[in-house]
């Protein structure tokens, strides 16, 4: 069996069971299962560029990591990946901060990754590159002579070509992406946007130009997560939460504090629920867990202030001596506690304005007790909506309709909850974490590297 080499912006700490962020959660599971090499940034910032990567062995996984310089961090990570590509790919043109120096830094770090990774590779390795930070890495690897099979998976949405073309570098970026042998997207909609882009910007139609792209919806380890939720029953915190909500209902949201997750809209929808359906006053509370991320990017600091203001105002308007409508927690929670919290909550509220997949939606389903399951209220703009048809799907921008869906979820009869849950559980089991890794890696392993037709990869920007 060929060795699997995973490359992502950050390598996760495999000693920890708690990873925040879908990519770290998904890949840590995959790596523990199969073993191999994991290459990426170690999260450190140092004064000068590294001469050699740092190599460490954890069981069957070799971790090969590099620090970044302050300039690399500011231009590649904060500047281009998170202030241009992230908002752009989430359809937020209003938040993109174009900057040629940041783009130069992005290209420089991708090239530096290639220089340090190439000597680590064996001839028959399968290389799997992840996410928007590393769109141009495969092109750099090819430039330094790597002939291995190289695949790419985009964890975030792929936007329509009209949006993508709002960045001056779009053609260079997508052209570099074509250096891969296989490109994976979360949904069929993303794949269609990609093929449309090729159709518009390259000289021949997308599907004939590049057949090696497909949708591979990422999954979770369903058994593991549902086991965690069952064992959380003995946990003191979960017990306290359970007693705190005795006789009441709880709505839960768990997200990184990111503007793509639709958190202000979600708080407004909860506020509207209490206004439209006063019977829920004092009987329903909303727990939002949202650890801060990327706080050095201005848009992230803004959303934090906005949310604190919202939660305070809503609580000020509705709270009573023994009822706090919104509990807003600003930190990481271990995965077992998270699983227990999901299980004690009657409604999982997952309403991003745009999301590649959203693993929280799947985790909420996995954590439910099949005898008395809660209800998932899910944005139709999350990638997960393509699979999770039996969730109550909502338009997160339409506050009244989200409030109505919350009401429907809170009063839903047991039988309907069970039917929906059974169907959702079957879906997340069918395409779970193992399915995702195996399907992608097998497809990549089967690619005929030398037979790839690149004749028509000639484009016009």
Show which residues are catalytic: 155, 355
Minimum gap (Å) between residue 131 Cβ and ligand ADQ? 8
- Decide if residue 28 touches ligand ADQ (CB under 6 A): no
Q: Which of 10, 133, 155, 280 binds ligand ADQ (CB under 6 A)?
A: 155
Q: Which residue is nearest to ligand ADQ (CB)?
A: 22
Q: What share of the chain is helix, strand, coil (3-state, %, to 5)?
A: 50, 20, 35
**Rounded to an integer, what is the distance from CA 96 to the centroid of its chain?**
19
- Decide if residue 378 touches ligand ADQ (CB under 6 A): no
Return the residues of window 68-127 that contact ligand ADQ according to CB under 6 A: none
Minimum gap (Å) between residue 312 Cβ and ligand ADQ? 20
Minimum gap (Å) between residue 55 Cβ and ligand ADQ? 26
Phi/psi at 321 (5° precision): -55, -40
- Decide if residue 159 touches ligand ADQ (CB under 6 A): no
Q: Which of 360, 365, 406, 433 binds ligand ADQ (CB under 6 A)?
A: 360
Minimum gap (Å) between residue 460 Cβ and ligand ADQ? 31
Nearer to ligand ADQ, 228 or 403 (CB): 228
Return the residues of window 203-232 that contact ligand ADQ according to CB under 6 A: 218
- Decide if residue 49 touches ligand ADQ (CB under 6 A): no
Minimum gap (Å) between residue 168 Cβ and ligand ADQ? 24
DSSP letters, 237-285, are HHHHHHHHTTTSEEEEEE--B-GGG-HHHHHHHHHHHHHH-GGGTTTEE
Mask for 320-359, x = binds ligand ADQ (CB under 6 A): ------------xx----x----------------xxxxx
**Cα atoms found within 13 Å of the Cα of residue 97, Cβ hemisphere only:** 15
- Decide if residue 20 touches ligand ADQ (CB under 6 A): yes
- Decide if residue 50 touches ligand ADQ (CB under 6 A): no
The contact set with ligand ADQ (CB under 6 A) reads 18, 20-23, 25-26, 155-156, 218, 254-256, 289, 291, 332-333, 338, 355-360, 363
């Amino acid at each position: 069996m060929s060795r699997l080499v995973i490359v992502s912006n950050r390598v996760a700490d495999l000693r920890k069971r708690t990873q925040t962020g879908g990519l770290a959660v998904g890949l840590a599971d995959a790596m523990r299962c199969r073993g191999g090499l994991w290459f990426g940034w170690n999260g450190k910032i140092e004064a000068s560029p590294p001469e050699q990567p740092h190599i460490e062995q954890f069981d069957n996984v070799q971790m090969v990591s590099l620090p970044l310089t302050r300039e690399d961090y500011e231009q590649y990570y904060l500047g281009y990946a998170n202030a241009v590509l992230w908002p752009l790919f989430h359809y937020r043109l209003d938040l993109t901060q174009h900057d040629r120096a940041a783009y130069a830094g992005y290209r420089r770090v991708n090239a530096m990754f290639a220089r340090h990774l190439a000597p680590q590779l064996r001839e028959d390795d399968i290389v799997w590159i992840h996410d928007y930070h590393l769109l141009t890495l495969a092109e750099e690897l090819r430039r330094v002579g790597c002939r291995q099979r190289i695949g790419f998976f985009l964890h975030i949405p792929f936007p329509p070509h009209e949006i993508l073309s709002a960045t001056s570098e779009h053609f260079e970026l997508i052209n570099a992406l074509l250096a891969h042998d296989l490109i994976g997207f979360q949904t069929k909609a993303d794949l269609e946007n990609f093929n449309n882009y090729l159709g518009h910007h390259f000289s021949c139609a997308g599907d004939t130009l590049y057949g090696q792209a497909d949708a591979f919806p990422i999954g979770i380890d369903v058994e593991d997560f549902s086991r965690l939720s069952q064992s959380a029953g003995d946990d003191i915190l979960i017990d306290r939460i359970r007693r705190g909500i005795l006789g009441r209902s709880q709505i839960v949201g768990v997200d990184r504090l990111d503007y793509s997750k639709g958190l202000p809209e979600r708080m407004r929808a909860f506020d509207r629920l209490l206004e439209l359906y006063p019977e829920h006053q004092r009987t329903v509370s909303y727990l939002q867990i949202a650890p801060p991320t990327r706080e050095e990017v201005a848009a992230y600091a803004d959303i934090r202030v906005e949310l604190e203001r919202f939660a305070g105002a809503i609580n000020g308007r509705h709270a009573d001596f023994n009822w706090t409508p919104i509990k807003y927690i600003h930190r990481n929670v271990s995965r077992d506690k998270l699983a227990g919290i999901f299980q004690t909550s009657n409604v999982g509220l997952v309403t991003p304005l745009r999301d590649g997949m959203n693993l929280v939606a799947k985790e909420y389903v996995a954590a439910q007790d099949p005898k008395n399951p809660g209800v998932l209220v899910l944005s139709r703009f999350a990638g997960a909506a393509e699979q999770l048809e039996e969730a109550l799907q909502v338009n997160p921008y339409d506050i009244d309709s989200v409030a109505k869906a919350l009401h429907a979820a809170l009063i839903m009869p047991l039988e309907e909850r069970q039917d929906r849950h059974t169907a959702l559980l079957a879906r997340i089991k069918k395409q779970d974490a193992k399915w995702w890794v195996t399907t992608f890696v097998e497809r990549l392993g089967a690619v005929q590297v030398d037979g790839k037709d690149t004749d028509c990869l000639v484009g016009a920007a």
